[in-house]
């Protein structure tokens, strides 16, 4: 929510005299710019100063164009970028002119810079428009990185090892970065020819976005509009070995009656290794891995859902090749690999072909069982997982790929899935994407694993939900026609899951479903208005059937959003009408009105509010309720090194006939952070779950040299009332506690 970029606008304000070029007819945006770089003439020290011998004589990318909110006009501030290299590193530098008193930058944790001033270098090393690195830095040198792919968009969990430094100057700010060749994948050729764009984010009253390459708003493909960088010659990736040993210590305890039972201190050592076999292929393995998370999952409200909840993957091992595993179905959900004894992975990008293969031996095998209206979750024993993905780039953003997954359960049972997918661009604004998957499920013959599911059937009663050794096949199909130009967005898609379709290594929470959805929006821009930046009405309509042609759901959403030219203010009002068959009951008259507001009044504060009210099904009670929802969030930065993030989510529903309260509650989560230095940070997560009447307190101290060399120590602490039925003051007591410490260091040989 807070890190997703929204289309925004340029600040028309007073800037530093040397940084604010006059608007004039002489500005000409450059589409598909070209840059010929050269090898660094001397050493470069990454300290934010650009007077090193290595930067002398390096050509500069300039003439940046503003593409949001203006349409390829001259920005109010100038930007210059440089790129050079030596045998060990790729070097990038930016000079960002501005009034230094207006620059927004906080000393924060890695990947927490997206509300600051920052620059991003987008690099498509294979120039095939299917995936690209995004390497970012704010004015203080705090790093951010993403991996963009044509199927998955921006993957914010990706991490790359690189060095960076920045400084605020009298004329604005500047940064420099050094990326080891071992951190990049690129073709094995004498000269590299890359698609590149240098990008600057300039947040003020509106959010200005400027780049070296000018953008055609009638072109829907982002990387096809980047510039070209030539002149990098005779470089090879690091072909050494990376070792990642770690040691974890934990102690867990829980309340037993009036006393507290502390368990023993447990230690676990693990080892990961990676070898860069060539410029295109990498092999990675891990033995006895510690797949713990140092950031806890935010609690989700599940009081009115019968479906499994999706949680993002945070574990570093799965980052390499994560773009390939993203397809139009969630056919690969790596959190299904729960507690592996070992895992290994091969990723390669030879030419225009991309390959990823993953194998893992798991101690605990979770199953998400999809049915027509509900999901069930069970945990099995040991298993072996194999996942293979191959994708062929066809040029101009088009691609075709195959995916195969297989999980074999010890003692019997397996889930196998395979299929093909593709994307083709019919015009610069029109594209078609599709995927077809077939699955075969061999259930374990172990009814004890599915206790509580007795009597539940699927496939029109032909099969039982319990694990009784049944074997069945399933099919999933997806197709979408999308049109995007400077004014209009259209999307028409179809998706279906047969009653017997499953993805044991994926996340498919329900099946027996066919759905057709169409959406459209039209933007009205007001470039001469002092108040409005744009207004965008939109509509979304859909219908759902099961595979027996019974109508299951139908809806129409319509609304309008607007961006205001102050405080990066966005607001949206929408209304929904729907009818749905759920649990054998047809519910007419479902409706909801929603309002959303987001604003960034300044560098010290940003926040948002969303409200919803209407008639919705209370799914566990199977009655119509008058449901209200509210979400309030804000990020407060009282000083450059301090950040408080607060989210409050509330929901309630009242029976529409009896006025009885069906459910009510909220979740309050705050994350308080202190950044002592670039490496050292302190964090405290406080979370209250009103549904479970439980407090959670998670302090953490982290020392991070890079994304993989890290030391942390912390604890998790859960509190519950002695008697939840008592009103007034509650006697909160510690119920569960865990202490943990981890030391992990990346050795590059």
| pLDDT tens-digit series, residues 234-275 | 998 766 788 999 999 999 999 887 788 889 999 989 998 998
* pLDDT band, residue 729 (cuts 50/70/90): low
* pLDDT band, residue 53 (cuts 50/70/90): very high
- Asked whether residue 14 carries a pLDDT value surpassing 50, the answer given is no
pLDDT at 1: 34
pLDDT in tens, 179-231: 999 888 888 889 999 999 999 999 998 899 999 999 999 998 899 999 999 99
pLDDT at 13: 30
CA distance 289 to 338: 11
Tokens found for residue 441: 């499920």
Residue range(s) occupied by CATH 2.60.40.1190 in the chain: 34-233
pLDDT at 292: 59
34-233 fold:
Immunoglobulin-like (2.60.40)
* pLDDT band, residue 726 (cuts 50/70/90): low
pLDDT at 6: 29
- Asked whether residue 445 carries a pLDDT value surpassing 70, the answer given is yes
pLDDT in tens, 343-357: 999 988 887 888 999
CA distance 194 to 644: 40
- Residue whose entry in the numeric block shows the structure tokens 């990498």: 282
Mean pLDDT of 269-298: 79
pLDDT at 21: 47
CA distance 43 to 367: 54
- Asked whether residue 151 carries a pLDDT value surpassing 90, the answer given is no
pLDDT at 731: 77
- Asked whether residue 299 carries a pLDDT value surpassing 90, the answer given is no
pLDDT at 12: 26
- Torsion angle, CA of 248/339/159/104, rounded to 10 degrees? -70
Rounded to an integer, what is the distance from CA 363 to the centroid of its chain? 27
HEC string for 511-553: CCEEEEEEEEEECEECCCCCCEEEEEEEEEEEEEECCCCCEEE
Mean pLDDT of 300-321: 80
Phi/psi class of residue 373: alpha, beta or left (left: φ > 0; alpha: ψ in -120 to 50)? alpha
Of 376, 354, 355, give the one whose Cα is nearest residue 367: 376
pLDDT at 335: 86
Phi/psi class of residue 366: alpha, beta or left (left: φ > 0; alpha: ψ in -120 to 50)? beta
* pLDDT band, residue 89 (cuts 50/70/90): very high
Pick the range with the lowest mean pLDDT from 27-31, 197-201, 239-243, 577-581: 239-243
Distances 61 to 162, 186, 191, 198 between C-alpha atoms, Å:
22, 22, 20, 8
Tokens found for residue 487: 């004014």
* Structural contact between residues 215 and 229, judged by C-beta atoms closer than 8 angstroms: no
pLDDT at 25: 59
* The length of the chain, given as a count of residues: 749
pLDDT at 320: 65
- Asked whether residue 441 carries a pLDDT value surpassing 70, the answer given is yes
Tokens found for residue 39: 């090898």
* pLDDT band, residue 339 (cuts 50/70/90): confident
Mean pLDDT of 695-703: 95
pLDDT at 324: 80
* pLDDT band, residue 556 (cuts 50/70/90): very high
CA distance 651 to 578: 20
pLDDT at 373: 93
Pick the range with the lowest mean pLDDT from 15-24, 211-220, 236-245, 434-443: 15-24
* Structural contact between residues 141 and 166, judged by C-beta atoms closer than 8 angstroms: yes
Q: Which helix (H) or strand (E) holds 406?
A: strand 398-409
- Asked whether residue 569 carries a pLDDT value surpassing 80, the answer given is yes
Distances 680 to 7, 110, 137, 683 between C-alpha atoms, Å:
34, 11, 18, 10
pLDDT at 410: 95
pLDDT in tens, 463-519: 999 999 999 999 999 999 999 999 999 999 999 999 999 999 999 999 999 999 999
* pLDDT band, residue 74 (cuts 50/70/90): very high
Average pLDDT taken over every residue of the chain: 90
* pLDDT band, residue 395 (cuts 50/70/90): confident
CA distance 508 to 515: 14
DSSP string, 117-131: -EEEEEEETT-SSSE
pLDDT in tens, 646-681: 999 999 999 999 999 999 999 999 999 999 999 999
Q: Which helix (H) or strand (E) holds 322?
A: helix 322-325
Of 628, 618, 611, give the one whose Cα is nearest residue 665: 628
- Asked whether residue 724 carries a pLDDT value surpassing 90, the answer given is no
Of 300, 375, 385, give the one whose Cα is nearest residue 334: 385
- Asked whether residue 52 carries a pLDDT value surpassing 90, the answer given is yes
CA distance 506 to 368: 9
């Amino acid at each position: 929510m807070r890190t997703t970029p929204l289309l925004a606008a340029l600040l028309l304000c007073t800037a530093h005299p040397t940084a604010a070029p006059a608007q004039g007819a002489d500005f000409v945006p450059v589409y598909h710019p070209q840059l010929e770089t050269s090898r660094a003439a001397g050493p470069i020290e990454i300290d934010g100063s650009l007077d090193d011998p290595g930067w002398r004589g390096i050509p500069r990318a300039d003439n940046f164009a503003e593409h949001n909110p203006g349409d390829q006009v001259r920005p109010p501030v100038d930007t210059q970028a440089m790129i050079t290299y030596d045998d060990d590193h790729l070097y990038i530098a930016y000079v960002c002119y501005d009034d230094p008193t207006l620059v927004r930058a906080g000393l924060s944790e890695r990947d927490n810079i997206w509300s600051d001033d920052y620059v991003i270098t987008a690099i498509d090393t294979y120039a095939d428009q299917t995936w690209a690195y995004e390497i970012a830095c704010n004015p203080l040198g705090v790093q951010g990185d993403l991996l963009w792919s044509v199927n998955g968009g921006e993957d914010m969990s990706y991490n790359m090892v690189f060095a960076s430094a920045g400084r605020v100057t009298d004329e604005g700010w500047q940064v420099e970065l050094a990326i080891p060749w071992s951190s990049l994948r690129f073709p094995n050729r004498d000269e590299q020819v890359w698609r590149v764009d240098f990008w600057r984010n300039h947040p003020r009253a509106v959010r200005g976005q400027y780049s070296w390459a000018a953008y055609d708003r009638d072109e829907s493909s982002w990387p096809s509009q980047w510039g070209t960088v030539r002149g990098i010659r005779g470089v090879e990736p690091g072909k050494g070995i990376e070792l990642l040993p770690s040691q974890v210590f934990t102690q867990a305890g829980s309340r037993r009656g009036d006393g507290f039972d502390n368990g023993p201190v447990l230690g676990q050592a693990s080892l990961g290794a990676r070898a860069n076999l060539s410029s295109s292929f990498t092999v990675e393995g891990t033995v006895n891995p510690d797949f713990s998370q140092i950031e806890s999952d935010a609690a989700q409200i599940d009081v009115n859902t019968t479906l499994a909840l999706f949680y993002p993957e945070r574990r570093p091992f799965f980052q390499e090749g994560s773009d390939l595993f993203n397809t139009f179905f969630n056919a690969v959900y790596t959190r299904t690999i729960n507690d592996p004894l070992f895992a290994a992975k091969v990723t390669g990008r030879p030419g225009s072909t991309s390959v990823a293969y993953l194998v893992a031996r798991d101690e605990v095998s979770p199953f998400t069982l999809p049915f027509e209206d509900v999901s069930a979750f069970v945990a099995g024993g040991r298993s072996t997982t194999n996942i293979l993905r191959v994708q062929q780039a066809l040029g101009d953003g088009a691609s075709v790929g195959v995916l195969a997954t297989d999980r074999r359960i010890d003692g019997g049972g397996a889930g196998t899935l395979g299929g093909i997918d593709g994307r083709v661009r019919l015009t610069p604004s029109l594209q078609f994407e599709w995927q077809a998957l077939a699955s075969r499920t061999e259930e374990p013959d172990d009814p004890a694993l599915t206790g509580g599911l007795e009597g539940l059937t699927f496939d029109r009663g032909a099969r039982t939900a319990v694990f009784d050794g049944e074997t069945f096949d399933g099919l999933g199909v997806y197709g979408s026609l999308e049109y995007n130009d400077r004014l209009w967005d259209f999307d028409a898609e179809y998706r279906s899951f047969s009653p017997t379709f499953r993805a044991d290594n994926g996340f498919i929470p329900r099946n027996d479903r066919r759905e057709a959805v169409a959406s459209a929006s039209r933007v009205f821009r007001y470039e001469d208005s002092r108040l409005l930046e744009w207004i965008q009405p939109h509509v979304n309509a859909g219908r759902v059937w099961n595979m027996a042609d019974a109508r299951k759901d139908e809806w129409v959403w319509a609304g309008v959003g607007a961006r205001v030219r102050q405080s990066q203010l966005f607001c949206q009002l929408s209304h929904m009408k729907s009818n749905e068959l759920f649990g054998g009951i047809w519910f007419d008259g479902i409706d909801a009105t929603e309002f959303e507001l987001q604003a960034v009044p300044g560098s010290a504060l940003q926040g948002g509010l969303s409200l919803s009210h209407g008639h919705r099904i209370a799914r566990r009670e199977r009655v119509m309720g008058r449901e209200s929802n509210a979400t309030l969030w804000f990020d407060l930065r009282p000083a450059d090194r301090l950040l408080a993030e607060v989210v409050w989510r509330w929901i309630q529903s009242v029976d529409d006939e009896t006025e009885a309260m069906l459910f009510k509650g909220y979740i309050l989560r705050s994350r308080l952070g202190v950044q002592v230095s670039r490496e050292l940070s302190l964090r405290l997560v406080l979370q209250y779950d009103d549904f479970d009447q439980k407090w959670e307190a998670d302090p953490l101290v982290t020392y991070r040299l890079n994304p993989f060399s890290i030391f942390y120590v912390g604890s998790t602490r859960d509190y519950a009332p002695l008697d939840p039925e008592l009103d007034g003051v509650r006697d909160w007591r510690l119920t569960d506690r865990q202490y943990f410490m981890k030391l992990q260091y990346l050795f590059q040989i």
